Copies of this chain bind each other. A is one copy, B any other.
């Protein structure tokens, strides 16, 4: 592990998922982390969890990372700038232009502020969901502005590189348009699909396969957070949603008038367009490259998962992650086990030797 280039302590304000993960990641690099949170309970949990120590009077942070909800981010950044006149202050909120404009309007010292946004998250929140490797290999945007010097902003680059993320430089406007497309509109599209399930018969939802699970996964996200995000990035979101709505109207029209000349060709072209769009996404779909997986069939009886994990433990292998798939009424479930790639083959052999059916 390379040593951190950060010299002074880093103060993390707000110890939810992102704040706790930043603390854990910095602690793993030996950086001193000072934690602050409006909730004494969250603060105590994050400290117990290993994300840093509670901040104390007299602390002199080199860098302050504000990880609070978007609608209070500008206010907290402004007060941190005032409280720590020698520190650089950054934030990790999902929108950048509105926060920068708000700080300028407040007369804050933006020569010591630069906003950032790590493209990492989970549907679950709170300090207990933090993980030191949350940012590894993920893009982390620095939304630079002319008011801060290159030298002063460098400490924020150090933070990002310490946490294993990939630094991406964009203007606040470019950032907000980009996340409208790759995050905010997908959230709305997913939410509206999930809404269609509310009144559906049991028999219908019980046929759900992986497709609709994937399309609706992010619809489980926190509504209060998303109202704030969408409220601060409405203009680019609206523009993209209108294009989506026009495509949808055209699709419906083609389906309604299926026997019109060219209707089926239009539908095929829309579907081909979807293929083309997906191909623009970088990297392989949905696979965490750090882990290899194997799928084990498990009888739906008490004790079977225990037996499986006993056997995995006996093999000396640590589970990195796990997914359990179970269809209502089925006698068998599928346990997808994620392990370090170097032990995958050996574990497969050992489990097969103990009578487990490996499905993939």
Whether A320 contacts B313 by the Cβ 8 Å rule is no
Taking a contact as CB atoms under 8 Å apart, the answer to whether B285 and A213 are in contact is yes
Nearest B residue to A195 via CB reads B273
Given the complex of chains A and B, what is the CA–CA distance between A271 and B198 in angstroms?
Answer: 12
What is the total number of copies of this protein in its complex?
2
Give every chain B residue within 8 A of A274 (Cβ-Cβ): 190-195, 216, 219-220, 223
Give Cα A124–Cα B312 distance, bound, in whole angstroms.
Answer: 25
Chain A: interface residue total (CB-CB under 8 A): 147
A185 proximity list for chain B (CB < 8 A): 193, 196
Give the residue of B129, B283, B331 whose beta carbon is less than 8 angstroms from that of A328. B283
Dominant secondary structure at the A interface: helix
Task: Return the chain B residue nearest A226 by Cβ.
Answer: B271
Asked if residues A285 and B220 are in contact (CB atoms below 8 Å), the reply is yes
Residues on B with beta carbons closer than 8 Å to the beta carbon of A268: 223-224, 227
**Interface digits, A209-223 against B, CB 8 Å rule (1 contact, 0 not)?**
111111111111101
Interface assignment of A201: CB less than 8 Å from any CB of chain B: yes
CB pair A302–B297 under 8 Å, yes or no, is no
Q: Which one, A33-41, A106-114, A132-140, A145-153, is touching chain B?
A: A132-140
A139 neighbours in B (Cβ, 8 Å)? 206-207, 209, 327-329
Residues on A facing B (Cβ under 8 Å): 21, 24-25, 27-28, 49-50, 119-121, 124, 128-133, 136-139, 141, 164-166, 168, 170, 174, 177-179, 181-183, 185-198, 200-201, 203-221, 223-224, 226-227, 230-231, 234, 237-238, 240-245, 247-249, 251-252, 255-256, 258, 264, 267-268, 270-286, 297, 300-306, 308-310, 312-313, 316-334, 357, 359-360
